[in-house]
Amino acid sequence: MKKRRNQETRFAVCITDSEPDLELRKIYQVLPDESAAKNNYVRVIDESGEDYLYPASYFVLIELPKEAERALRRAS
């Protein structure tokens, strides 16, 4: 696991149900990880509450209104 850095917060919606620690259509916080991105992976905080790498094809990045982003960050 990689330490969280205070960078731009991004979110993605899960589009697969093939992983037990992910829920289809749920919004997940995406953490910055340049190395993972080069290999077509994203680092997300999954259902375990920890951040792990998953194939980027499991997610679609989304833009949320600022108010929704704040609410999701507070909830996590």
pLDDT digits (tens, 9 = 90+) for 47-64: 888 999 999 999 999 999
Full-model pTM: 0.81
Domains annotated on the chain, with CATH: 10-75 (2.30.30.40)
DSSP, residue by residue, 15-71:
----STT--TT-EEEEEP-HHHHHTTEEEEE-TTSSEEEEEGGGEEEE---HHHHHH
pLDDT of residue 6: 45
Contact predicate 52/4, CB 8 Å? no
